[in-house]
Structures are given as structure tokens and as C-alpha cells.
Amino acid sequence: MLGPLAPLVDLVVPVRCAGCRDAPGTVLCPHCRAAFGELLPVARACLAEGPPAHALAEYRGAAREAVLAYKERGRRELAGPLGELLAAGLLSLPGARADHEGTWWLVPAPSRRSAARQRGGEHMLRLVRRGAAALARHGRAAAVAPALRLHRGARDSVGLTAAGRAANLAGRVRVVPAGAPRPGTPVVLVDDVVTTGATVRACAAALARAGLVVTAVLALTRAGA
């Protein structure tokens, strides 16, 4: 965010790990990266008949701190290491597959426009782009499809019940044709936190209505499991 001023800022306030808030000189230390090391299934009760969903960590401890630092505290440099973790998880994600040309299509969950403005842009789009770049370094062709938009009327879901979250999103997650691959393409839906599953259900349903095949859902963390 600070561009050429970043090195000067680091001299005054050295970068520290976003997960443990220690380990100076690193964005996410090896110990905190290890918190994201396992594919955890999201309870079927959250997703009903939707695609299989997994998370890389529980929404607690170092993983929670890293997600909050990236999402809410302006630590955009975390897109790199978190994107690498997503890419590693995708390679072993049950159900996920590339299209017939060998390209993995990743669809980021959308944010409310006001939230995106406060965060300097769509944080999941930035993260998924870094994940796609990491996949490319592993020799896997990857493409990012910014195919979803959250329309006006949706409010912050913090504090809402499961039913309230579902009602909040009803009819408000829509597909942007210009950002979507052709119908029939297998895609992986990517989010930061799965809580009740309302967001991924609404997103997966919108993609399915547009003729896309959501093969799997991958989140950085799961909450309330």
C-alpha cells in the first residue's frame, strides 16, 4: 500500500507475522503457515445438497488472526502467502477438476461494494489471483473468473443467524456474464470463511443457474464446526 515508502516504514515499524504478531521480518511465519496445513470438510448441514466444501484451517488462533489481518486490517501483502496456501490445497481438493483443456477455473466469493471500497478492492479476487499465479508456478494452468456480484440490499452478516444470513443474500448474488467462463465449465468457488454456509450456497446456486459446474468449494477457514 505504501509503495516506495514501505522500506522506510519497516525501519520504524518492522513487519511482523500476521498470525502470531511476532516473528519480525516475515508476513506469515512457518509456524503460522502450518495452521493452514490440512483440508477440513465443511459439515454437510451447512451446504445441504451443494458441492463438497473444505477449509484449510479452523477459524481460530493464528489462522483467524491472519485472515482478519488480510481482510480487515489492511495487510494486503498476505495475499501472496495465503494464495500459495490456497493453491496447495486445491491440488488435493476432493471433487475439484480442471476443464477439458486442463485449466483450473477459480471463482472468488463477492463482497459488498461498501466493504470492497473500505478494503481497497475485492479482497477475495486479489487473493484468488495470487492463488492462480501459484498454481501456474506448479505447472497447472489456472484462470480467475470474477463471475459473481453482490447486489445492493445485502448488509453485513456479522451477528445474523443462519436463517438471517440466507435471507440477507436471497436474490442478491448474481452472475456477471462478462466475468464468467462458458456454460458447462467446471469451477471451484473460493471464500475466506465458511460459517453457516449461506454465502457459498447462494454463490453456488447462482453459478449453477448460469450453467457453470461448481465441482468444489475451498475456504481458508471454517467457523463453528
Establish if 55 belongs to a structural domain: yes
Domain range for residue 139? Answer: 38-222
Stronger pLDDT, 115 or 224, i.e. the higher one = 224
pLDDT of amino acid 9: 43
**How many distinct structural domains can be found in the chain?**
1
Query: Which CATH number fits the domain that encloses residue 94?
Result: 3.40.50
Establish if 33 belongs to a structural domain: no
What would the mean pLDDT of 126-152 be, rounded to a whole number? Answer: 93
Q: What residue type is assigned to position 66 of the chain?
A: A
> Phi and psi (nearest 5°) for 114?
-65, -40
The total number of residues shown for the chain amounts to 225
State the DSSP string of 88-134: HHHTT-TT----TTSPEEEEEPP--HHHHHHTTS-HHHHHHHHHHHH
- Residue 158 scores a pLDDT above 60: no
Stronger pLDDT, 53 or 155, i.e. the higher one = 53
Taking all residues of the chain, what is their mean pLDDT, rounded to a whole number? 84
pLDDT of amino acid 12: 45
Establish if 42 belongs to a structural domain: yes
Q: Please state whether the predicted TM-score (pTM) of the whole model is above 0.75.
A: yes
> 146: pLDDT confidence band, cut at 50, 70 and 90?
very high
